[in-house]
Structure 1
Amino acid sequence: MQSFFGVQQRQIPLKKPGKGEPEQLVSVLIPAHNEEDTLHEVVESVANLTYHNLELILIDDGSVDQTLKVMYDLQKQYRTQFPVKVVPIVKNGGKANALNVGLKSAAGEYLLCLDSDSYIDQKALKQMMLPLYNDPKVGAVAGRPVVRNRTTLLGRLQLLEYIGIIDIIKRGQSFITGHITTVSGVIVVYRKQAIQQVKGWTVEALTEDIDMTWKLYSHQWRVAYCPQAVSWILVPEHLKALIRQRRRWARGGLEVLIRNRQLIFTGKLAEQWLLIDMVVSNLWALSCFFMIVLYFLTMIFAHALILDGGILFVLTLISIVQFIIGFTSSQRQGYIDWQDLLLLPMYFIFYWAVNLVSCITALGHSSLIPNVRAPGPARSGGLKMDKDKLVIRKKTSLGSRLRRMLLLILLWIIAIYVLAINVCFIFGIYSDALVVNYSLFNLSFHLYKMLGYLIIIIGGLVALYSVVHIRNLKRKAAANDKDNA
């Protein structure tokens, strides 16, 4: 799907401003809460943008450190390059409230919203402006976040997740439906007219980016995805903070699903598919939770260990294929190194476990704690950025390296064992001894055979649809060029 998305983008050129026409003014909104250590980096990245018609709006969301002072210092430093406005807010009211306040000071017709601990790529804004110039119904363009801090195991696992899962999901959604579930709040350009039409950001929303995406859909605006527009971000480096972040994401998605439930029946087909996907994801989480509980009860009372090798094989195979597609693109752009691939077996476990726990706890919190004000912008934890290097890594002790190596070797042995045994069963190259040694796994050759046929059929249908879809888009683009000529 990523390949078809790339073909679509190359085959259908976007209209750029004509020669001699000035660039439209873009207001850059950066809300910050206690970000004195990282704020200067994001402003520096804005100053390095190749898109020059900018104004910068720094919004201090009730910080108790030196963030406001840093903002005034940055205003003096960059005022000769572009206008810099500082908007202080006395009491912390959350990111959505800060953006609403900043909107009142914005003079541009377009709004670039960035997190205060991010670092935007030089060419990102020019890339994101193209869909807005091309289609007046595009209300927002989402960029692509890439993990920068890879100093811990958790940070490197999230790098694999952003590369192998989040990016591919958005590419696939954008290509098939023309919609995405949500923009990335860390890097997104809005059309100010669209924001004003939906009456700004919802202060009560836990996730202002998901909420805004669906508010735009409900007012007939389109949301585009631009993976070429990269923003380097800092991610949580402690498990507790990560679970808290993902639980907020999951709960924000539930809020949007409940608020827009009528669109499942009355919305556009693309919106219906995305909402149904949300429903299925939550049902999957609930099913997994109850099956895990049932499994442990069965193991305790029946005194038997039963592992479904078929499910393990299917999940592992799908994860590997999905990750390889994302890695191919990211390696070309220098976002990931081969050393990060050593964490691949752990990444599979990490992704499913973290998202399962986040979804289940979000469902529980929504039932037990229905009304919670959206928190302020998340802090980066005081992690300082290295000006000379975008990717942040650190050297570890020899003992830590050895322990990590032994764990990775063990995980790779298990992963290769599961794959090898299942491949033997699929092709019928196994012995009685192999069956005995693999008696812990409940395998079905006919199930694999049916699954293989099903994958081939679905893959063929998707490929056929993709080719026809690209041809139709090219035909429409040629017709539009002819009309404009």
Structure 2
Amino acid sequence: MAVANILMVICVVSIWSLLLVNVTLIIAGYLYYMRTERELPPSLPDEPPFVSVMVPAHNEGMVIVQTVEALLAFDYPADRYEIIVINDNSSDNSAELLARVKERNPGRNLIVINTDSVIGGKGKSNALNLGFAQSRGELIAIYDADNTPEKPALRYLVGELMADDKLGAVIGKFRTRNRDASWLTRFINIETLSYQWMAQAGRWKLFRLCTIPGTNFIMRRSIVESIGGWDTKALAEDTEISFRIYLMGYRIKFQPHAVTWEQEPQTLKVWFKQRTRWVKGNIYVIIKNLPLLFQWSARRISFDILYYVSIYFLLVLALVTSDSLLILHALGYVHTSIAGLSTFLWLLAIVLFVVGTFVTVTTEKGELTFSNLWLILLMYISYCQLWMLVAANGLYQYAKDAIFKRETKWYKTERF
């Protein structure tokens, strides 16, 4: 009983510590929302900088035309930005589709790089390095191949970055384009909204830190040159480059007015593979940057390192252990005197999760609905529990690759 009680207390303290951190981030994020809602990003300078917009794409024939057309429609001066699509060793009809788009838009700065299996097909980081080598922009913007950004998105990102020399990058907001396709995409829609106003806006408000989300962001060319490009071993190249920007003394700001719409996985199988890739990538970044916790020069980013360690290691372990103990207690195999208290705290945690998440989604028009409240509750007992399996699988896959020294493989998200 004593051992079970000790384990349960450790789990409860761990879970509630993280829960209170997230509640704090939600409050800070909501305060940031209240302020940004009343003001637009800074205007462009009189002479707008030249921007290279890069789009890595592998077998993206289903979505690439709509994406490029959306990029061509930016209200940024047409002669002050180029679009570089890296058609990375695709076996579908992407090359033909991109050639037609280029023919329909003569005179536009649209560059298509078609790679083969020799120089391409090695993941997003490698594709970005190939595109960067041919880019001319003072600023570099990145969009995924399934994105349809709104017309002012690039203008807002550039205006924000140019207004503050302390900023190394500015990230925008992403919304779920296929939100109503399935229960899964509705869960993902809530997840992305909650994440942006909690982990992004909250961290910016409190610590002046954000993490690049992989799409709809802009950064200074000088940064990419200084760090030698993207780390080709990193599956989560966005998180990895964020830490390197931090270490250079720059900040990364969240600008919610710059919006892009992206397609999310519509089946559980595709979602599980994509999220496992994210977990493996973030574990790589955590381990790579863990020594920074002991360096005074990196003290500003200690919160981010501890936050990721807590989410991917401590929280998963605490949830699995506490749930297992409660089940074993109910079956009579383990006896703990604080099972009742643990159950009460677990129910209270659910209430805080539902209320906190609902508050974050109300920042978007059309999301303040009673159905969303029930959807968040259902999300907790289904979608959130699946995340534990994803985290555990990602950790297992990462450990297996490390032990057997296997090359990390990039899983390309299937489109619909």
Which residue among 96, 106, 126 is the counterpart of 2:125? Answer: 96
Question: 1:118–1:232: 8 Å Cα contact kept in structure 2?
Answer: yes
Q: Distance in 2 between the 1:198 and 1:23 partners?
A: 25
User: How much has 1:126 moved relative to structure 2?
Assistant: 1.4
Residues 1:83 and 2:109 are matched in the alignment: yes
Residues 1:143 and 2:180 are matched in the alignment: no
Q: Distance in 2 between the 1:354 and 1:140 partners?
A: 32
Q: Distance in 2 between the 1:136 and 1:297 partners?
A: 56
Secondary structure of the 2:82 match is strand
Which structure's CA Rg is the greater one? 1
The unaligned stretches of length 5 or more in structure 2 are 1-27
Instruction: Tell me the residue number matched to 1:434.
Output: none
Instruction: Tell me the residue number matched to 2:13.
Output: none
- Give runs of aligned pairs for residues 299-338 of structure 1, distance below 5 A: 299-302=330-333, 308-331=342-365, 334=366
Structure 1 residues 165 and 16 mapped into 2: Cα distance closer, same or farther (>3 Å)? Answer: closer
Question: 2:33–2:363: 8 Å Cα contact kept in structure 1?
Answer: no
Residues 1:357 and 2:389 are matched in the alignment: yes
Structure 1 residues 212 and 361 mapped into 2: Cα distance closer, same or farther (>3 Å)? Answer: same
For the aligned residues, what is the CA RMSD?
Answer: 2.4
Deviations along 1:153-193, whole A, 9 cap, x unmatched?
Answer: 1111111111223432211011100012x211122112111
User: How much has 1:291 moved relative to structure 2?
Assistant: 2.5
User: How much has 1:336 moved relative to structure 2?
Assistant: 7.3
Instruction: Tell me the residue number matched to 1:292.
Output: 323
Structure 1 residues 67 and 211 mapped into 2: Cα distance closer, same or farther (>3 Å)? Answer: same
Q: Distance in 1 between the 2:69 and 2:332 partners?
A: 61
Structure 1 residues 49 and 17 mapped into 2: Cα distance closer, same or farther (>3 Å)? Answer: closer
The residue identity in structure 2 corresponding to 1:28 is: V
User: How much has 1:10 moved relative to structure 2?
Assistant: 6.9
Deviations along 1:130-163, whole A, 9 cap, x unmatched?
Answer: 2311222322111111111121111111111112
Q: Distance in 1 between the 2:71 and 2:367 partners?
A: 20
Residues 1:45 and 2:70 are matched in the alignment: yes
Instruction: Tell me the residue number matched to 2:302.
Output: 272
Q: Distance in 2 between the 1:372 and 1:335 partners?
A: 44
User: How much has 1:270 moved relative to structure 2?
Assistant: 3.3
Question: 2:157–2:172: 8 Å Cα contact kept in structure 1?
Answer: yes
The residue identity in structure 2 corresponding to 1:24 is: P
Q: Distance in 2 between the 1:336 and 1:377 partners?
A: 35
Secondary structure of the 2:49 match is coil
Structure 1 residues 285 and 274 mapped into 2: Cα distance closer, same or farther (>3 Å)? Answer: same
User: How much has 1:246 moved relative to structure 2?
Assistant: 1.6
Q: Distance in 2 between the 1:234 and 1:107 partners?
A: 29
The unaligned stretches of length 5 or more in structure 1 are 384-485
Question: 1:207–1:252: 8 Å Cα contact kept in structure 2?
Answer: yes
Q: What is the TM-score normalised by the length of structure 1?
A: 0.72
Q: Distance in 2 between the 1:380 and 1:336 partners?
A: 31
User: How much has 1:252 moved relative to structure 2?
Assistant: 1.5
Residues 1:378 and 2:412 are matched in the alignment: yes
Structure 1 residues 59 and 226 mapped into 2: Cα distance closer, same or farther (>3 Å)? Answer: same
Question: 1:263–1:272: 8 Å Cα contact kept in structure 2?
Answer: yes
Residues 1:23 and 2:48 are matched in the alignment: yes
Question: 2:55–2:86: 8 Å Cα contact kept in structure 1?
Answer: yes
Q: Distance in 1 between the 2:407 and 2:251 partners?
A: 28
Secondary structure of the 1:262 match is helix
Structure 1 residues 76 and 380 mapped into 2: Cα distance closer, same or farther (>3 Å)? Answer: same
Structure 1 residues 13 and 345 mapped into 2: Cα distance closer, same or farther (>3 Å)? Answer: closer
User: How much has 1:376 moved relative to structure 2?
Assistant: 4.7
Question: 1:205–1:373: 8 Å Cα contact kept in structure 2?
Answer: no
- Give runs of aligned pairs for residues 30-429 of structure 1, distance below 5 A: 30-52=55-77, 53-80=80-107, 82-91=108-117, 92-149=121-178, 150-180=180-210, 182-266=211-295, 267-281=297-311, 282-302=313-333, 308-331=342-365, 334=366, 339-370=371-402, 371=405, 373-376=407-410, 378-381=412-415, 383=416
Identity %: 23
Secondary structure of the 2:364 match is helix
Bigger shift: residues 185-194 or 342-351 = 342-351
Structure 1 residues 245 and 379 mapped into 2: Cα distance closer, same or farther (>3 Å)? Answer: closer
Question: 1:141–1:190: 8 Å Cα contact kept in structure 2?
Answer: yes
Structure 1 residues 269 and 50 mapped into 2: Cα distance closer, same or farther (>3 Å)? Answer: same
Q: Distance in 1 between the 2:271 and 2:204 partners?
A: 27
Q: Distance in 1 between the 2:408 and 2:169 partners?
A: 22
Bigger shift: residues 89-98 or 315-324 = 315-324
The residue identity in structure 1 corresponding to 2:324 is: V
Instruction: Tell me the residue number matched to 1:461.
Output: none
The residue identity in structure 2 corresponding to 1:365 is: Q
Q: What is the TM-score normalised by the length of structure 2?
A: 0.83
- Aligned residue pairs, count: 376
